[in-house]
Amino acid sequence: MSMEVVRAACHFCHGNCGVLVYVEDGRIVRVEGDRENPFSKGYICERAEHAVRWLYHPQQLKHPLKRVGERGENKWKQVTWKEALDEIAEKLKELKEKYGPECLAFCEGTYRSDQVWARARFASLFGNPQNVVDPGTICFCCDRAVDKAICGYPLNFTAELDKSNCVVLWGTRPTVEREYDHSWRLFEERLIKDKPKPKLIVIDPRFTEEARYADFWLKIRPGTDAALALAWINVIIEEELYDKDFVEKWCYGFDELQKHIKKYTPSWASKLTWIPEEDIVESA
Ligand code: SF4
């Protein structure tokens, strides 16, 4: 019996956590987190933990199956790839002739745009490259839209939390929502080890796991986030805490913003958000 340990990366999602794969006589027997991986540092989620069961599961789909019973009856027969492809092609041709190419929609996991070349090529040839849907609209499109509006580019995979000296977690919980995002893990390590530690501001009505480390946990009244943002801008401008060179060089409309923001004082925001006025000022 020979056991080999192979260093690899998990590809179940884009986190690519480092893993150690234990192979016994040519068969994988265990997958565990690689503590020496500089990003994931031993972390893996349930998907990688169950990778072996998934790989060797007797119901792993290895060939085309055709339903022979009613929907939900779970009755199938094995067919060849040729039979499957011919039948699908025939049906698609029929649908396209009858209803046009727009009758077909493609639903996929995390939308990868046309990097999923096989789907992109097929959809183009079918005459309908547009009808592609995915769960990204609730998963990440919203924060990408905000990133683009503010910075012109989606930052969610490039923000270097681990190198930041002050991080604001606003409506996000990296420990549960972005388990694949290793930059939070590295930042968390700094929160524990660094002296002085980087600053963390958590804006959340609930006391979250992340809030344990927070310099400010702002218990905001749900639905009043914009008031807090306006009051922060007010303090930052009034107390001249902003980077003047940056504003001079890169910002348009700063004078108008300066006038506009005057009325959104911390005391005004405090009444709406239920956050004490002094916490708004100090956290800004
Ligand atoms: S978060 Fe889980 S699925 Fe994603 S790469 Fe890491 S172990 Fe794999």
Write down the ipTM of this complex.
Answer: 0.99
> Which tokens go with 188?
């968390």
Mean pLDDT to the nearest integer, 4-8: 96
Q: Which atom of ligand 1 is nearest to the CA of 12?
A: 3
pLDDT at 118: 84
Statement: residue 255 has pLDDT above 70: yes
User: Whose C-alpha lies nearest to ligand 1, atom 7?
Assistant: 44
CA angle (253 as vertex; 251, 255 as ends), nearest 5: 105
Write the burial class of residue 151 (CB in 10 Å: 0-12 exposed, 13-18 middle, 19+ buried): exposed
Q: Is the CB of 13 under 6 A from ligand 1?
A: yes
Statement: residue 179 has pLDDT above 70: no
Strand ranges in 110-226 using DSSP code E only, listed in sequence order: 132-133, 166-170, 199-203, 216-218
Ligand 1 centroid – CA 204 distance (Å)? 26
Give the pLDDT confidence of 122-154 residue by residue, as tens digits. 989 999 888 887 777 666 677 777 777 777 776
pLDDT band per the 50, 70, 90 thresholds, residue 5: very high
pLDDT at 174: 82
Amino acid of residue 36: E
Q: Count Cα neighbours of 183 within 13 Å in the Cβ-side half-sphere.
A: 12
Ligand 1 centroid – CA 182 distance (Å)? 10
Q: Which atom of ligand 1 is nearest to the CA of 49?
A: 7
pLDDT band per the 50, 70, 90 thresholds, residue 16: confident
Q: Is the CB of 16 under 6 A from ligand 1?
A: yes
Mean pLDDT to the nearest integer, 163-188: 80
Statement: residue 190 has pLDDT above 60: yes
Q: Is the CB of 18 under 6 A from ligand 1?
A: no
Q: Is the CB of 261 under 6 A from ligand 1?
A: no
Strand ranges in the chain using DSSP code E only, listed in sequence order: 3-9, 18-24, 27-33, 65-67, 76-78, 106-107, 132-133, 166-170, 199-203, 216-218
Provide the CA 50 distance to its chain's centre, in angstroms. Answer: 22
Give the pLDDT confidence of 85-127 residue by residue, as tens digits. 999 999 999 999 999 999 998 887 766 666 668 888 898 999 9
Q: Is the CB of 92 under 6 A from ligand 1?
A: no
In the CATH scheme, what architecture does the domain 165-283 have?
A: 3-Layer(aba) Sandwich (3.40)
What is the dihedral sign for C-alpha 212, 218, 224, 230?
negative
Rounded-to-integer distance, Cα 120 and Cα 115, Å: 8
Where is pLDDT greater, at 176 or 126?
A: 126
Within 10 angstroms of residue 275's Cβ, the number of other Cβ atoms is 23
* Contact of 173 with 207, CB cutoff 8 Å: no
Ligand 1 centroid – CA 27 distance (Å)? 21
**Domain ranges, ordered by start, for the chain:** 3-56, 62-99, 165-283
Rounded-to-integer distance, Cα 140 and Cα 124, Å: 26
Q: Provide CB contacts within 8 A for 1, sequence distance 6+.
A: 24, 25
Instruction: Say which CATH superfamily domain 3-56 falls into.
Output: ADC-like domains (2.20.25.90)
Provide the CA 274 distance to its chain's centre, in angstroms. Answer: 30
